[in-house]
Every structure is written in structure tokens, then in C-alpha cells.
Chain A
């Protein structure tokens, strides 16, 4: 069966520090991968998506970047965090052709102080 992992689960970082969040998927190949951010008590905002290794598309201009160095690995990064980067970061994958359903990882709760 397919599983999706994210780490770390929680993170507290000072303003101006770098960020690296990792997402890995097991049990599937060539998935579409997505990064979302959820502010406290709010909905989900799509940040990036990837349809393959090295292919990244950004949905909104921001202080973040994403990379996909391997088929089942998706990384969210920042060189210098802002207070507004605080939130719940969720990685999701789609199984492929024939389904629109996305499956979410457990998320990383980021607090920037």
C-alpha cells in the first residue's frame, strides 16, 4: 500500500533562518506531488506541484521554493524565513491517471518567531 511521510512533524525557527521540509512517498511510482500551506483556522493554499523529477510549478509568488530530486521525494525550502511563513505544511500525492483524489501526509507545523 501507498504511504506518505513528512518530516519534521513540528518546527520552530527564527526569522531569517533557512528551511527544508521533506516529503517522501512509498508504494507508488511517478506520482504527481503537491505542497500546500494552511494558515491557522484557514483553508489550504496550493504552493507547488510536480509531475516528475526536476519538474516544479509554482502557484503563488512567495518566499519558498520546491525541488524534486527523486521520483518519490519532494522538498520545500526557503533561504530566509518570514513571520508570514508560519503555518501547517501539507504534502500530497495523486495516484496517477484515472483519479483526481489526493492523499495527504501528516503535515509539518512550522512556527516562525
Chain B
């Protein structure tokens, strides 16, 4: 079935350092979504990328969709303790009904 590989699994950074998580698919994607889950919380939608080569920014977060629409990245500039959590990418699964297939997630720890 449809799968998406996400790396790294964990990332520990000092506050102020940058952070990047990557998602890769073996097949061309129609779109990719990113979610953030705070510790003990539920996933919250961040953004959806649709176009080849698309770049979107949300304050210190930069999202990119690859030219071939097979990979995506989320980059956080100058991390803050509020960035702590797990970041998931999600892609549409096969068979319709907008089923989402989630990456395994990247857990970000930020040390003050």
C-alpha cells in the first residue's frame, strides 16, 4: 500500500538551532499535509502542499514540496521551546475517501 518514509525519528536541538524533517514517497503524490502533535495532545493541521516545487512559510516554519512531488520537508528556523512535539507528514492513501497515510513522525526536543 501507499507509504511515506519520514526521517529522522528523533531530533534534539538547542534552543535557537534549526530543525528539518523530511518525508519521501516512492510514488508521485497529489498533495502532502503536515501536522503537529504536542506531547499528550492530538495532531493539529499545519499546512497542505499541492503544487510541484511549492514553498510555503508560516512564521519560522518553511514547508517545501519537491519538484517531482515525491518528497517534502519542514524546516524550523531558530527553534523555540514551544516547537516541541512530533511533526507528521500525511499523504492520501489509495482507494479514495480521503484516507490519510501518516509518516512515522519526527519527535523534536528543544533544550533551553
Q: Is the interface of B mostly helix, strand, loop or mixed?
A: strand
Q: Cβ of A51: which chain B residues have Cβ within 8 Å of it? A: 97
The reply to whether B100 and A100 form a contact with Cβ atoms under 8 Å apart is yes
* A102 in contact with B45 given A43-B88, A43-B103, A43-B104 (CB within 8 Å): yes
Contact of B101 among A32, A41, A46, A49 (CB under 8 A): A46
Residues of B within 8 A of A57 (CB): 97
- Beta-carbon contact of A100 and B101 below 8 Å: no
Q: Of A13-21, A62-70, A73-81, A103-111, which stretch is located at the interface?
A: A103-111
A100, B102: Cβ atoms closer than 8 Å: no
Chain A contacts with B in 75-113, Cβ cutoff 8 A:
90, 94, 100-107
- Closest CB in chain A relative to B25 CB, distance in Å: 15
A57–B31 Cα distance when bound, in Å, is 23
Q: How far is the CB of B79 from chain A (nearest CB, A)?
A: 21
A11 near B: Cβ within 8 Å?
A: no
Task: Tell me the complex Cα distance, A107–B48, Å.
Answer: 23
Whether the Cβ atoms of A106 and B97 lie closer than 8 Å is no
Known contacts being A43-B103, A43-B104, A43-B105, is A100 close to B98, with CB within 8 Å? yes
B102 & A43 in contact (Cβ 8 Å cutoff): yes
> Are B103 and A32 touching (Cβ within 8 A)?
no
Instruction: Evaluate contact between B42 and A105: CB separation under 8 angstroms.
Output: yes
24 A-B residue pairings within 8 Å (CB atoms): A32-B97, A32-B98, A34-B99, A42-B104, A43-B103, A43-B104, A43-B105, A44-B43, A44-B88, A46-B93, A46-B101, A51-B97, A59-B99, A90-B42, A100-B92, A100-B98, A101-B33, A102-B45, A102-B90, A102-B98, A102-B100, A104-B42, A104-B43, A107-B41
List 13 extra interface pairs beyond A44-B43, A57-B97, A100-B48, CB under 8 A: A32-B98, A34-B99, A42-B104, A42-B105, A44-B102, A46-B101, A100-B31, A101-B33, A101-B45, A101-B48, A106-B41, A106-B42, A107-B42
Among all A-B residue pairs, the 7 with the closest Cβ atoms: A104-B42, A43-B104, A44-B102, A107-B42, A104-B43, A43-B102, A101-B45
